[in-house]
Structure 1
Amino acid sequence: MIGVLNNWMLESSKNFNVIVGLTIVLYAGSLLVLWYIGNKFGKPDERTNNIYLKIISCMFTTQLIMNAIFISLVDRNIEYFRQFFILFQGIVFLIGAIYAFRLYRKDFS
């Protein structure tokens, strides 16, 4: 799948820009959601520190899984490995934002 995506990005600069744009939107949206929900949790105290620790733990676990996938699936001669790595980082932030939203709904609704 990564090889197919790499070949698709090599076809034209428009395809490359689509991936870069998707990654930026993924990052920006995830960071915005994390910031918004972090403000909704309130000032740091014992309760919110536990919630933040859960979110960071989820993101770290996802980071380890995504790095293992990246290392095992990316070929040595792939052209755009940095873009894939950054895309995987965006997915990690997305998972963190989804988990933070889930915790917010569970604790505050």
Structure 2
Amino acid sequence: MIDVLDRWMLESVGNFNIFVGVMTFIYIGSLLVLFFVGKKFGRPDERTNAIYLKIISSMFTTQLIVTAVFISLVDSDIHYFRQFLLLFQAIVFLVGAINAFRLYKKDFN
């Protein structure tokens, strides 16, 4: 799949810009969700520290899995290596944002 996406980005500058735009949208959106949900949790205490630890743990686990898959499945002749690493970082923050939102809904509803 990564090879197909890499070839698709090589076809034109527009495809590359679409990829970077979608990746940036996911990254910034996830950061905003993490920031706003973190503000809604309130001041740091024992309860919120446990919630933050769960969020960071899910993000770290996702980072390990995504990096392992990337290293094991990607060929060495890939052209847009940095863009894929940033995409995977955006996926990690998306997982953290989804987990934060889920924990917020569970604890406050």
What residue identity is the alignment partner of 2:100? Answer: A
What residue identity is the alignment partner of 2:40? Answer: K
Paired residue for 2:100? 100
Distance 1:40 1:99 in 2: 14
What residue identity is the alignment partner of 1:93? Answer: F
What residue identity is the alignment partner of 1:53? Answer: L
What residue identity is the alignment partner of 2:48? Answer: T
Paired residue for 1:24? 24
What residue identity is the alignment partner of 2:70? Answer: F
Instruction: Write out per-residue CA displacement over residues 23-50 of structure 1, whole angstroms, 9 at most, x where no aligned residue.
Output: 1101100000000000000011111011
Same amino acid, percent of matched pairs? 70
Superposition misfits of 4+ residues, deviation over 3 angstroms:
none
1:15 is the counterpart of 2:19: no
Contact 1:74 1:81 in 2 (8 A): no
Q: Give the secondary structure class of the aligned counterpart of 2:32.
A: helix
User: TM-score by structure 2 length?
Assistant: 0.98
What residue identity is the alignment partner of 1:6? Answer: D
Paired residue for 1:60? 60
Paired positions, count: 109
Q: Give the secondary structure class of the aligned counterpart of 2:63.
A: helix
